[in-house]
């Protein structure tokens, strides 16, 4: 054979080999990294997804009778269970970090793990609270956290579009308008704090701020604990709520903002990550950021002026024409939410350095 011919034949053979390898991989549906886009749509949402919660976060269990995801959250084909005997059938197994950290629960490392099963590391706590995670490196496939860079981002709350109608002039108007409870606000500011530590930045800001404005303080730290059903009506009586996070960390924006402030219909004064980080979650005119002021005195006098000027105060509620606030009801909703993300999840992934990921500020 002439060298030229041999070369062409060799090339053709290589091509054939490559093609069949590609077909083999494709047909076997081996989970190689995605080339581009996603081929997961073929698998579709019609497939049932089963989620096993290995243990309930903070030992508080909720009933799981019936098709919870469909009946409570309108999420079809999604089944959650806490029955460990279903381990080998589960597509996803969720482990809440707190119980692993305090060793009240263990990972089922002795059980044979189905190859396509995904283990989810779940924590809604900031990096400072998570201790050494190196022991659980190389074990998890996915993360679920308040962080936007988690595989399953689970913020403490979110803005949802407010239902709109078209008025006679063809303009969009909210279906139900929001009324600013101006007349109901009979105090300037309030704060609920259960964990008062002098070294927290928020304690320092509070101690300075109270020299300039009155602040109603509730919670265990002040021995004025509010009953759950009293929380929103009580903090809702003040113009402002001090939504001060105990840990200052990227994306760590908790129910202090979403529930104690937005749901209570007051204006939040936030202390946490920088303003730009808050603006990734909420409209820029929905909150007052402590860092916008040079001192507690400046902040205090701004709040006093704002509470005396109804027009200006009400401008902090303008976003409510477009948005409503949604706060997940309990862990069941968060678990069902995994199904909504299921098709976009990476088919194959291992957190070899979960520690590094979880401790990243």
The residue ranges that bind ligand NAG (CB under 6 A) are: 46-48, 77, 116, 118, 138-139, 141, 179, 181, 184, 309, 311-312, 348-350
**Which CB sits closer to ligand NAG, 77 or 212?**
77
**Which CB sits closer to ligand NAG, 151 or 251?**
151
**CB 157 → ligand NAG: shortest distance, Å?**
20
Question: Which DSSP state fits 338?
Answer: H
The answer to whether the beta carbons of residues 90 and 117 sit under 8 Å apart is yes
Here the tokens at position 256 are 């202090």
DSSP states along 68-100: HHHHHH---SEEEE--GGGGGG-SEEEEEHHHH
**CB 45 → ligand NAG: shortest distance, Å?**
10
Q: Calculate ∠ Cα 192-194-200, nearest 5°.
A: 95
**CB 322 → ligand NAG: shortest distance, Å?**
19
3-class secondary structure, 348: coil
Q: How far is CA 94 from CA 78, 80, 213, 251, in A?
A: 14, 10, 45, 22
Q: Is residue 125 among the annotated active site residues? A: yes
**Which CB sits closer to ligand NAG, 116 or 194?**
116
The answer to whether the beta carbons of residues 98 and 145 sit under 8 Å apart is no
Residue 84: count other Cβ atoms within 10 Å of its Cβ: 14
Which among 281, 294, 298 is positioned nearest to 243, based on CA atoms? 281
User: Quick one: 297 exposed, middle or buried, by C-beta within 10 A (0-12, 13-18, 19+)?
Assistant: middle
**CB 265 → ligand NAG: shortest distance, Å?**
6
3-class secondary structure, 315: helix
**Which CB sits closer to ligand NAG, 131 or 310?**
310
**Which CB sits closer to ligand NAG, 70 or 248?**
70
Active-site residues, by number, are 125
């Amino acid at each position: 054979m002439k060298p030229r011919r041999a070369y062409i034949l060799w090339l053709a053979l290589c091509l054939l080999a490559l093609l069949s390898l590609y077909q083999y991989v494709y047909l076997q549906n081996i989970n190689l990294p995605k080339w581009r886009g996603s081929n997961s749509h073929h698998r579709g949402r019609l497939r049932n997804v089963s989620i096993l919660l290995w243990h309930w976060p903070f030992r508080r269990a909720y009933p799981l009778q019936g098709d919870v995801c469909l009946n409570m959250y309108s999420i079809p084909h999604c089944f959650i269970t806490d029955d460990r005997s279903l381990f080998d059938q589960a597509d996803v197994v969720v482990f809440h970090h707190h119980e692993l950290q305090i060793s009240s629960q263990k990972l089922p490392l002795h059980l044979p793990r189905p190859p396509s099963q995904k283990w989810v590391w779940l924590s809604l706590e900031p990096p400072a609270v998570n201790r050494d995670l190196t022991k659980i490196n190389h074990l998890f496939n996915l993360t679920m956290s308040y962080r936007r860079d988690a595989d399953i981002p689970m913020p403490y709350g979110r803005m949802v579009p407010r239902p709109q109608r078209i008025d006679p002039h063809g303009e969009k108007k909210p279906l139900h308008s929001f009324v600013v409870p101006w007349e109901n606000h009979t105090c300037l500011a309030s704060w609920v704090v259960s964990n008062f530590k002098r070294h927290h930045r928020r304690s320092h800001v509070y101690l300075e701020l109270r020299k300039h404005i009155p602040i109603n303080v509730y919670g265990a730290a002040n021995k004025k604990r509010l009953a759950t059903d009293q929380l929103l009506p009580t903090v809702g009586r003040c113009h402002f709520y001090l939504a001060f996070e105990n840990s200052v960390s990227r994306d760590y924006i908790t129910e202090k903002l979403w529930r104690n402030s937005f749901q209570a219909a007051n204006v939040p004064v936030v202390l946490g990550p920088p303003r730009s980080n808050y603006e990734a979650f909420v409209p820029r005119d929905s909150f007052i950021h402590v860092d916008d002021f040079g001192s507690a005195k400046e902040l205090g006098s701004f709040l006093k002026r704002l509470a005396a000027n109804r027009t200006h105060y009400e401008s902090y509620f303008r976003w409510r024409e477009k948005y409503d606030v949604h706060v997940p009801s309990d862990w069941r909703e968060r678990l069902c939410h995994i199904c909504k993300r299921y098709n976009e999840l990476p088919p194959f992934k291992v957190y070899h350095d979960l520690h590094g990921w979880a401790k990243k500020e």
